[in-house]
Amino acid sequence: MGDVLSQGEIDALLSALSTGEMDADELKQEDDERKVKTYDFKRALRFSKDQIRSISRIHDNFARILTTTLSAQLRTFVQISVASVDQLPYDEFIRSIPKMTLLNVFEALPLEGRLLIETNPNIAYAMLDRMLGGKGESYNKVDNLTELETRIMSQLFQRMLNSFEEAWSSIIEIEPEMEQLEVNPQFLQMVSPNETVVVISLSTTIGETTGMINICLPHVVLESVLPNLSVHYWMQSKKKERAPGEEEQLAKTVRGAPLDVKAVLGESQITVQELLNLSRQDVIQLDRTIDDPLRVDVGEEPKFYAQPGKLKNHLAVQVTDEIKGEDEGDE
């Protein structure tokens, strides 16, 4: 939007036009001239705004899933949320992260190429400290990880990848598999320096430690699924068609499911002292008379009335009536 002129400036402009100091045709010609806009080819914007919004939604979901996963695993306060989603050259991303940090390089078949999750050492060591029984304090000695620390962190990162898989399941079924754990970003060359990547920054709190987790997704890797990141794809309703015979097989499975059935002769309440004093020939009075029907429970739910009897030298019951809703409440 252009600058808004004050009333004095408008009066001065009209006066200049009326006296001939300014030419209206010249002003119109200047306005019609093509304006030059600076464009940086090193920062080519290859993701549309629509796609960036979709990626942001996916990783909002990832942040929620990861918060739940790490809370259960670490048994401490965990809060993760999306701080920003940006697209920039890969080289600029590498220069923006610490010189020594934790880089989880992984593949996500069927996508072709490698992806990256960078975890700030403060966050990584807070998680490691909790896994080893500590309070979740952070230590920044990422340059000399022991074999045990590397293995524990690799297991933690693989759980993060499981959450990543779940978050992306609405777009594409992927199988993330950790490939390597690096600490020096200068030795990591996943794509060309000028390749556009989308970087999702997650603001992370583990106990009292805060830091960032950055997810780097190269454009060349996501290119095959970019059409699925449109609003049209998200809004369209996809009705899953049942396979032939699926309903019949489901009904057959349900009909064949085992159920526990028991006939309840009656119930009673006694004290612990009376229970301790019970012996042979003692009589326990139940809450039913001999004329009352037995209650048949199916899966712990009262379903039928029945009368006792025998069938081929076995105790049995004969169903006499079905227990209605009101009768169940009276039990």
**pLDDT tens readout for residues 12-21:** 777 777 776 6
* pTM for the whole structure: 0.59
**pLDDT mean over 41-47:** 68
The angle at the Cα of 143, spanning 140 to 144, to the nearest 5 degrees, equals 100
pLDDT value at position 166? 92
Written as one letter, the residue type at 260 is D
d(CA 317, CA 308): 4
pLDDT at residue 196 tops 80: yes
**pLDDT mean over 204-227:** 90
pLDDT value at position 129? 87
pLDDT digits (tens, 9 = 90+) for 158-172: 999 999 999 998 888
pLDDT value at position 1? 43
Share of the chain above pLDDT 90, in %: 21
d(CA 305, CA 279): 31
pLDDT at residue 326 tops 80: no
Domains of the chain, start order = 43-235 (3.40.1550.10), 259-330 (2.30.330.10)
**pLDDT mean over 287-292:** 83
pLDDT value at position 142? 64
pLDDT value at position 57? 92
What are the helix and strand counts (H, E) for the chain? 11, 10
**pLDDT mean over 167-196:** 87
Pair of tokens at residue 255: 């009909």
pLDDT at residue 212 tops 50: yes
Find all residues with CB under 8 Å of 101, minimum gap 6, and list them. 118, 119, 120, 121, 142, 183, 185
**pLDDT mean over 38-46:** 64
- Whether a cis peptide bond, with omega within 30° of 0, leads into 110 is yes
Which parts of the chain fold into alpha helices (H)? 7-19, 24-32, 49-74, 90-96, 121-131, 147-168, 219-222, 231-235, 246-255, 272-276, 325-330
Q: Enumerate the β-bridge partners of residue 301.
A: 298
Lowest mean pLDDT of 46-55, 154-163, 223-232, 254-263, name the range: 223-232
